[in-house]
Structure 1
Amino acid sequence: MKKFWKIGLSAFLAIGVLAACGQGDKDAKPSTDKPQTEQETSQVDEATFPMTLTDALGKDITLEAPPEKIVSLIPSNTEILFGLGLNDEIVGVTDNDDYPPEAADKEKVGGMEYDIEKVIALQPDIVFSHESSMSLSEAAIAQLESAGVKVFVVNNAQDFNETYTTIEQLGRATGKLPEAEKIIADMKTKVEEIQAKVKDTEPKKVLVEASDEPDIYVAGNGTFMNAMLEMIHAENVAADGNDWYKIDAEQIIAKNPDVIIVTYHYVPDILTKIPQRAGFDTVNAVKNNAIVQVNESTTSRQGPRLADGLEELAKAIHPEVFE
């Protein structure tokens, strides 16, 4: 009988609202006055094997050679690995991995549950997990490690610079540093272009929703989304709370955002439903028809498409400078 490591439905939904949005249980980090593109990132240099890397949990992982078989346990890792040109090396991904299209051709090792025996049968040289899901994947990782499988837990990035470091780290671990450097350079260029376009705009009050009534969750201080809003001249009206937290409709009315960003797609016609909430006719975002649905993958996954997500947010908040 196959051994499955199961994730309950409620816990899985919590991942969708919280961990997949690029936040975890970390303490909120202080903001900086420096633009993200000006902060220092780790120097990319030549990788030599064998090498020892330290993962997000402080574990030292030694690789004798670039891995020839890789399993990814979260979509953001998968996007980075494909971006590095590791199509042939990737042998397993999760049911939730929908980008790039080539991910559909890979063996699936689970979504709401991991098929541990399948992962082991794939004989990966390394499995890339993620810090944001550790509360749910700890038992699975323990099973894999007890079977002799190397598991590297990727850091849950809180801003673009930490994302760049993650990309560099995966590039280093897989012998793809030049490719990682190219991805990072392209992302930085795009971020600089976006920030240049919005630098003279008036800041707008923004609320970012990750779920609908009755359990409305919004992006607070310490989230990746909050950091992105700060980069594009947007005032997060929910920044008085930490992480992704639950809020009621009356509080949203009181905060009176100029723009409401919707990051979810599970509610049909949500853009017409939100204005119909009781009392929302007084909210500026409703009066100005400024409720915008964005791609939850590009605006939350800590990978190469994150710069595209930043641009999508900027267009939603400052459409006038992108016309």
Structure 2
Amino acid sequence: MKQLTDQLGTSHSFETTPKRIISLVPSQTELLYDLGLEDKIIGITKFCIHPYHLKSTKKVVGGTKKIHFEKIKLLQPDIIICNKEENTQEIVDQLSAICPVWVTNIVTIEDNFQMISDFGQLFNCRTEAQKWNNKLSFALSDFKKYIADIPVQKAAYFIWKNPFMVAGKDTYINELLKLNHFANIYEDKGRYPEIEIKKIRIEGDPDIVFLSSEPYPFKEEDAFEIGRFTHHAKTIFVDGEMFSWHGSRLLKAFPYFKVLHERLKK
């Protein structure tokens, strides 16, 4: 009997290592694949796009907020992987009637390391998990050296339109902004506050405005609309996966961030 605790503090008991996994979190589907667990994944969401071929080899059981309960039940999973931010408490409660639901909660990079270690124990792939944590630890250390001499700039990171919403405090996005020496002007306004763009200069007057590719795909006209109120700020379109996908994606984020900083120097 294996007794393990997820990142919400929920204790789970497993008589054997779970072999039939459903993942309702796109970034964690990618991590499970990178840990060598492709054969054990039986169900994913329609947003699980990395690696792309999984959409044709695994059963799609809905999205992250709306699921097909009966489809999931018929797959007879041993475990369902959820995330506090991606999936609702209602979904977790509903699915708990089928099998154990493991919920991750990633706000810091340390949380990310912990999740990978947890998956190593949970799925009996400790060596692979340790390899990933070692790679990430090395890449993080290297990036911190790179960023050390880059001055801090004020930034706003937009994630939604109608209404305009930005990333705020206690979010993984904010953690990565800080790592990149970007001071989030909305850090004290809540996790994902709605904002009035006409007040952006009064509320912090950012040097840089980031427009994310997800969950809302910002376009040039959005940059023009926001730019009317930001005065001197540079507006940059960024790959939302690099700032918001945790798990193994972080390894690809570090070189992406370096390229981003080189662009900003020009």
What is the TM-score when the length of structure 1 is the normalising length? 0.74
In the other structure, the counterpart of 2:34 is: 83
In the other structure, the counterpart of 2:220 is: 271
CA distance in 2, matches of 1:145, 1:320: 47
In the other structure, the counterpart of 2:260 is: 316
Residues 45-102 of structure 1 show CA distances to partners (whole Å, capped at 9, x for unaligned) of xxxxx31111234332112222221111111221111111001010111111111123
Go from structure 1 to structure 2 and tell me whether the alpha carbon gap of 1:92 and 1:283 turns closer, same or farther (over 3 Å shift). same
Is 1:107 aligned to residue 56 of structure 2?
Answer: no
Consecutive unaligned residues of structure 1, counting only runs of 5 or more, are 1-49
CA distance in 1, matches of 2:145, 2:241: 24
Percent identical across equivalent pairs?
A: 26
| 1:298 pairs with one of 235, 238, 242 | 242
Go from structure 1 to structure 2 and tell me whether the alpha carbon gap of 1:192 and 1:96 turns closer, same or farther (over 3 Å shift). same
Go from structure 1 to structure 2 and tell me whether the alpha carbon gap of 1:137 and 1:249 turns closer, same or farther (over 3 Å shift). same
1:240 to partner: Cα distance: 3.0
CA distance in 1, matches of 2:218, 2:178: 29
1:292 to partner: Cα distance: 1.6
In the other structure, the counterpart of 1:151 is: 101
1:31-70 matched pairs, under 5 angstroms: 50-70=1-21
**Greater RCO (Cα-Cα under 8 Å, separation 6 or more):** 1
Go from structure 1 to structure 2 and tell me whether the alpha carbon gap of 1:180 and 1:278 turns closer, same or farther (over 3 Å shift). closer
Aligned residues between the structures: 263
Contact 1:259-1:317 at 8 Å conserved across structures: no
Is 1:117 aligned to residue 66 of structure 2?
Answer: no
CA distance in 1, matches of 2:85, 2:261: 28
CA distance in 2, matches of 1:68, 1:237: 45
CA distance in 2, matches of 1:283, 1:317: 21
1:216 to partner: Cα distance: 1.1
Consecutive unaligned residues of structure 2, counting only runs of 5 or more, are none
1:172 to partner: Cα distance: 0.9
What is the TM-score when the length of structure 2 is the normalising length? 0.88
CA distance in 1, matches of 2:214, 2:35: 29
Contact 2:31-2:247 at 8 Å conserved across structures: yes
Aligned-pair RMSD on alpha carbons? 2.4
Question: Helix, strand or coil for the counterpart of 1:308?
Answer: helix
